[in-house]
Structure 1
Amino acid sequence: MSLHAEQLEILAFLKEYSPYNQLPDSALEEAVQQLDVAYYKAGSQILSLSDRISDWYIIRSGSVEVYRRNGNLYNRLTSGGHFGEFSLLHNRPVRFPTVALEDTLVYLLPEALFNQFFDEYDAFSDRVEVEDATRLRNSVAQREDANELMTAPIESLISQAPLILTANTNCHQTAVEMTNANASAALIADDDGQIIGIVTDKDLRDRLITPALPYHTPVSEIMSPDIQQVDHQQFVFEAMLLMLRYNVHHLPVTKKEKTIGIVCLPDMIRHESQNSLFIVSSIFKANNLDELTALKPAVRACFVRMVQQDANSRMIGGAMALLGRSFKQRLLELAEQRLGPAPIKYCFLALGSMAREEQLIVTDQDNALVLSDEYNASQHGEYFAQLADFVCDGLDACGYVYCKGGIMASNSEWRQPLHVWKQYFSRWIDEPSPQSLLDASIFFDLEGVHGETQWARDLNRLIKYKAQNNPRFIACMARNALQRTPPLGFFKDFVMETDGRHTNSINMKSRGTAPLADLIRVHALATGIKARNSFERLNDIMETDVLPRGRGADLRDALELISMVRIRHQALEIESQNEPDNNIEPENLSDFERKNLRDAFQILSNAQKYLKFKYQPGRVN
C-alpha cells in the first residue's frame, strides 16, 4: 500500500515508541491509514469517569494527566504515551479520567483494530499489558488503585480529636461537653487514662432520660463498656463491616494504642453503597420467613452493584458473608420465637467460606450447632432438632442451598455438646487420616455467629494449639489440599470439563479459589496463625519464613484475580437473568483475561508443588 507524505511522517513517529514499534510494518501501515486525529486545549477534559470509548488514545504532542476516580493524580503522560487500553480490554466504562495538561494532539486508533493487534501480536500485547510489572500484578493493582473504598484509610474520615471524659464525670456535664464539642459520642477513661467505655447520644436518651435517672449520675453507669475499635490504617470498608457486624454506630480509631478520633455511621454511608446497610436492616426487621425470602433479589442486586462499583473480592466476600450471617441470626431469633427460649445455651457455627468471609452469591450452607455440656438428649434433643431444621430449611429458602455433604446442624452428627466437639477435633488432629480429614476439613474454618460465640473461640484455640505441633496432621491436610489441581495441561493450555452441562468450561471454585484456600489454610495451621480470611492469612504467613520470598504476594494476586473472574462471571449471569454458577468458558474471556488467568493458575500449580515439598504429604497413608 502507498502512503502519502503525512502518513509516512506518522509512521516514522510510531516506530520511535513502544509498544507501537512491537508491531510489524504491515500492521503499522494499516494503523496509519485508519487513525483519526483529535486536538484538546489545555485544561479540557479528554475522558470522563464512566464514559464509553471506542478508540485507543496515542499522544502525538502535548501532555495529559490521568486521575483515579477519587480525584488523586495517577499518572502524567507525554508524547508517545497512550491511554484508554484498560477500558477497551475489559469492555468497561472509563475508570481513569484524563485531562489535557497543555494543548495536546492525539491519534485515535479504532477499537476493532486495537483488539486485532492485541490478539495477533504477542509482543505488542505483552508491552501494552505491562511496562513496569508482571501482567498479573498490574491487573490486580489497577483494580485496587481504581477503588476508593479499598484505598481509603479510616483515618481519612476523622474530622476532630475525640472527646475523652473521666469515669466520674456526671451525665449532665457529659451532655454539656458533647454539645460544646458538637460530638455525638464521648470516650470514658479511668484514672490512668485508659479508655474503658463509650457513651453516645442514644445512651443518654435510653439509659438516663427514659428511666429518669438523676442528672448527676456518673457517666460510667450508663456507658457501654464493650468497645469495638479500628486501627487508623484499616480501610473504610473494614470499619463499615465491623459496625454492621456488632451493630454499633461509633468506632474509636487508634494509632499506636492511642485513640485519635471517632468515626460514626454517617461517615460510612458516604463511602459504601447503602444497599448492604439497608439489606442488613431489612433482614433483622423481617417478621417471618416469607419476608426474608423476599430479600433474595436485593442480595443479588447488592452483589452486582458492588461488582459494577469495582469492589475487590475481599470486600465482596466480606459483605456477602455478613449478609449470610445476618440471615442465620434472624432465622435463629424467629426459631426461638416459634419454639420458645432455648432450654440450654448453644452456639450456632458458620463453616467454610462464610467463616473465612469469602462467600459469594453462589453458595451452599455449611453450619453446625454446639450445645452446652448440660445437654440431655431426652430432654433437649427434640427442641434443637426442630431449631436446626427451621434454620437450615429457612436458609435454603433464602438462597443458601442445602449442603450436598450434609454438613448442617440438621444432621445430628453435627449437633453435639461442646465436649463432644472438642473430642472430634482432638481425634481429627491427634489421629489423622487423609480420608477422615477430607470429610472434616471444612470444620477447620469456623466462626460462632449466634449464642455462646466464645465456644467457637475455644475450639479455634484448641485447633491452633494442637495443629501446630502435629506434623502428621499437617501432612494429611497438605495431601488433601493437593486433591484439586488447577486446570492447566502439559503445554499450559486450559483443561476443561468434558461431560455434563458444563462441558468446555472451568469451575472457578473447585479448580481455582478452593485449592488456593486449602493450601493457604495448611500454611496457616502449620504456623499457628489465628486469621481465617485467606488474604489475612497470607499477610500473616508472609511475616514468617514458611514461604520463599515473593511467593506470598504472588499467591495473593492469583487469589484476587481468580476470585474476580469468578465474581464477574456470576454478576454477568445475574444481569443476563440467568442462574449464576461457578463455570466460565475461556472462549468468552478476552485474550488479556485469558493470559492473566493462565498466569494465576500457574502460580497455584507452583504453590501446590511447594506444599508437597514442604510438608511431605506422600509419607502418610
Structure 2
Amino acid sequence: MDSEALEIRQHLARFPPFEGLTDALLDLVAESVDVAYFKAGSEILEREQTIDALYYIRSGAVEVYRRGGALLNRLEEGDIFGHFSLLRNHRVHFPVKAIEDTLVYLVPDEIFRRLGTEDEQFADFVELDRPRLQSAVEKRGGDAGLATTRVRKLISRPPVMVDASVTVRDAATRMTASHATSVLVLGEEDGNPRYAVTAPEGTQACLLGVLTDADFRSRVVAEGKPPETPVSEIVQGPPTTIQSDETLQEAMLCMLRNNLQHLPVLHRRTPVGVLHISDIIRHQTHTSLYLVERIFSQGSPQALARLLPDVREAFVRMVEEGADSQVIGSALSTIGRSFTRRLLELGEAELGPPPVPYCFMALGSMARNEQTIVTDQDNALVLDDSFDPARHDEYFAALGQFVSDGLAACGYSYCTGGIMATNREWRQPLRVWREYFIDWIGQPTPERLLHSSIFFDLDSVSGEEAFVVALQDLVAERAPRSPLFLAAMARNAGNRTPPLGFFRNFVMEKDGKQNNTINVKRRGTAPMTDLIRVHALACGSTAQNSFDRLNDIARTDLLPSGVSDRIRYALELISMLRIRHQAIDLQRDHPPTNSIEPENISPAERHNLKDAFQLLSDAQKFLQFRYPIPARRS
C-alpha cells in the first residue's frame, strides 16, 4: 500500500462506520477511493443529480438541505453523506453545499454495497437495516449473570505458588503472610501437557495440585505429620483447572461436579489466581436485592451510611455486565426507596408512632425509577386531612429531618432547592396538595412552573399510597384539558438546550471546575425527561418512568409515527453514556459526576451522541409547535 492510501486508511479507521471494518475491507476502501476538493460556497450535490459514490469528509464542513431549502444538517470531519441516495435510486434527494474549503473521499458504489453486505456494523450505521441510534443502543445490550460473567472478573490477586520440595511449615507461612486459603504446588514438568504451566520465573513446570486450609488440618495436623514434611507428600492430584475466559456458570458447574472449594485459574498456561466458591457467592450477593435485604437489617442511620461502598460496587458491577439504563435506574431507585423506608422505620421507633396517617412521597428521578449513583433527595410528606399543625407538625418536622439527614449520610445530598420533607411548604395534608396542583395547572405561567415541574414526577415510597394515587389521578384528569398549562410546561422544557453549536460541534461548559466538559444530565437526560413529561401530561398518562410514558405517548397521535421510538433510543444512549462515565469515575477513585469530556469517548460514540442531541433539539422545537400558547379571547 502506497503512502497516500495508507494515510487515507489511517484517517478512515478513526471514524464510524469504517472504524469497525476488518483490515481487509479497510484496505479495500483505502485503495479504491477518489479524492475531490470543493471550495467554500460551492455546490457538492444538487437535487436529482445522479450519485455513484459515498462521500466522506476528510476536512472542512458542509450543509445538507431539505427539499424546501431549509437546513437539514451540518457535517464535519469524519461524517458521511450521500448514503441515503445510494440506497434508493442513485438520485440526490438532499442537496449539499460546502461552507468551508472541503476535501472529501469518494467511496465507489460497488465498494459501498460490498461493505453493507459483508459488515453488519457498517450496514446498521448507514441504515440498511435500522436507524443508527437504535443500532448503537441495541449493540451494547448485555445480560448480567453467571452465564456471561468471565472468571477473570473475580480474580483480584495472583495465587500463592510453592515448589513441591517446600515444607508444609514454609507453605503455611507463605499462605498466612498472603492472607490466602490455598497454595498451588509446582513440580518438575512430567511431559503431560494437560498439567504443564509457566512458573513465576518463566520456566516450565507441572501443576501437581492445590493445598488448602482444610488439607493442612486433615492431612498434616490430624495425621500428626511433622512441619518439615515436603508438600509433595501431602498434595493430591491431578488438579482440576479452568481458563480465565470461561464463565462463572462453567466454573460453578466444574466445582460442583468435582466437589471443589478451590479452583486454580489459568490464562493459557500461566496460573493467575484461585477461585473460591465463596467468591462466586459473594459476587452473586452484590446485587440490589441483596443490598435491600442488608438495608432492612441495619439498626441505625450510621450503619446504613456504611453501606454506601456496597451500593457503588453494585452499580459498577451492573454497568460492567451490560445492564441497560432502565435496569440500573430501577435497581438504584429500589435501593434509594429502601434506605428511605428503613429510615422512616428507625425514625418512628425513636419518635413514636405517627399522630395521623401519612405518605412519604418521592419526586424526580426516584419517582421515575431513573436514579443514578449521582443523585440528590427530592421528597415531601402528604398528610391525612385530620392533620393539625399546632398538634402534629412538630412530630413530622422531626421525622422529615431524621430521614433527610439519614439520606444525606447515605450519599443522597440535600436538595439545593429545598424540595424536601424538612420544608414546611412540602409537608402538608392531602387537601392542600390538591390545591397546589389545581393552582399550578389552572393558573400556570412558565415562571411559576419553573421550580414546580419536579412535582409532576411523583410516587409513593411508604405509608398511605392512596394519598399519592389521588394526586396522580388529579393531574391525569386536569392536565390534558389545560392547554395553557401544557404550553407553559413546554416553554420550560425548552430552556435547557442540547450542547450542539452552529457547526454541530459540542458546546462545552465554561464554569470552572467542570470546564471544557458536557454535563449530560443538565444538557441531555434532564431536557429529554422534561419534554417526555409534557407529552405524558397531555395524554393523561399516570406512568412516572420516562420509558413507560413513551409507551403511553406512542398509543396517541401526539407525535409523528416512529418519533417515540427515536426519542427512546436517544434517551437510552445519553443515559448510558452518563452512567458508564460515573462507573469509570468510581473505578478510578474519583468522585462521580454528570460531566464527560468528549475527547475521552470514541469517535463512534461522539457521532451517536451528536445524533441523540440533534434529535433532542428537533423534539424540543416540535414541542413548541405542538403546544402553542392559546390565543386570548377578546
Bin of the TM-score, shorter chain as denominator length: 0.5 to 0.7
For the pair 1:566 / 2:578, whether they are aligned, the reply is yes
> Structure 2: how far apart are the matches of 1:310 and 1:273?
17
Matched residue of 2:368: which SS? coil
CA contact (8 A) 1:478 1:617 kept: no
Tell me what 2:498 maps to. Answer: 486
* 1:474 and 2:482 are equivalent in the alignment: no
Q: 2:459 aligns with which of 447, 451, 455?
A: 447
- Show the counterpart of 1:597: 609
1:335 match: 347
**How big is each residue's C-alpha offset from its partner over 1:246-279, in whole Å with a ceiling of 9 and x where there is no partner?**
xxxxxxxxxxxxxxxxxxxxxxx99986521111
* 2:288–2:334 CA contact under 8 A, matched in 1: no
Alignment of 1:443-592 (within 5 A): 443-592=455-604
Q: Find the structure with the greater CA-based Rg.
A: 2
1:616 CA drift (Å):
1.3
Deviations 1:330-368 (A, max 9, x none): 000000000000011111000000000000000000000
Greater shift after overlay, 272-281 or 607-616? Answer: 272-281
Whichever residue aligns with residue 137 of structure 2, its letter is V
Cα deviation digits, residues 296-352 of structure 1 (max 9, x gap): 000000100000000000000000000000000000000000000001111100000
TM-score by length of structure 1 reads: 0.61
Query: What is the CA–CA distance in structure 2 between the aligned matches of 1:619 and 1:577, rounded to whole Å?
Result: 55
Q: Does the aligned pair in 2 maintain the 1:23–1:121 contact within 8 Å?
A: no
Rounded Cα–Cα distance in structure 2 between residues aligned with 1:493 and 1:587: 12
Match of 1:423 in 2: 435
**Does residue 23 of structure 1 match 2:30?**
yes
Q: How far is the alpha carbon of 1:19 from its aligned partner? A: 6.0
Distance (whole Å) between structure 2 residues aligned to residue 15 and residue 24 of structure 1: 14
The 1-side partners of 2:631 and 2:414 are apart by 36
Q: Note the 1:269-308 alignment, pairs <5 A.
A: 274-308=286-320
SS at match of 1:311: coil
2:137 maps to 140
Task: Return the match for 1:127 from 110, 122, 125.
Answer: 122
Pair 1:349-2:361 in alignment: yes
CA distance in 1, matches of 2:138, 2:367: 26
Are the structure 2 counterparts of residues 464 and 582 from structure 1 closer, same or farther at C-alpha, using a change threshold of 3 Å? same
Partner of 2:423: 411
Per-residue deviation at 1:129? Answer: 6.1
- Find the residue that maps to 1:330 and give its secondary structure: helix
Gap change, CA 1:324 and 1:2, over 3 Å in 2: closer
Task: Please give the alpha-carbon distance, in whole angstroms, between the structure 2 residues aligned to 1:321 and 1:492.
Answer: 34
Distance 1:18 1:547, change over 3 A: farther
Aligned residues: 400
CA contact (8 A) 1:347 1:451 kept: yes
Query: What SS is found at the alignment partner of 1:365?
Result: coil
| 2:451 match: secondary structure | helix
Secondary structure of the corresponding residue to residue 450 of structure 1? strand
Q: What code does the residue aligned with 2:29 have? A: Q
> 3-state SS of the aligned residue for 1:400?
coil
Using the TM superposition, give the Cα deviation of residue 134 of structure 1 relative to its aligned residue in structure 2, in angstroms.
2.9
Distance in 2 between the 1:617 and 1:298 partners?
49
**Does structure 2 conserve the Cα–Cα contact (< 8 Å) formed by 1:15 and 1:21?**
no
RMSD over aligned CA atoms reads 2.9
How is 1:302-381 mapped onto 2 (pairs within 5 angstroms)?
A: 302-381=314-393
Superposition deviation, residue 382 in structure 1: 0.8
TM-score (norm 2): 0.60
Code of the aligned partner of 1:22: V
Superposed counterparts of 1:239-258, under 5 Å? none
User: Could you say if the C-alpha distance between residues 449 and 542 of structure 1 is closer, same or farther in structure 2, counting changes exceeding 3 Å?
Assistant: same
CA distance in 1, matches of 2:122, 2:26: 6
CA contact (8 A) 1:18 1:127 kept: no
The 5 A counterparts of 1:231-246 are none
Q: After TM superposition, which residue ranges in structure 1, 4 or more long, deviate above 6 angstroms?
A: 14-17, 120-126, 269-273
- State the SS of the aligned residue for 1:540: helix
Deviations 1:146-180 (A, max 9, x none): 3368xx9xxxxxxxxxxxxxxxxxxxxxxxxxxxx
8 Å contact from structure 1 (residues 479, 617) kept in 2: no
Indicate conservation of the 8 Å contact 2:361/2:380, yes or no.
yes
**Equivalent position amino acid for 1:309 in 2:** E
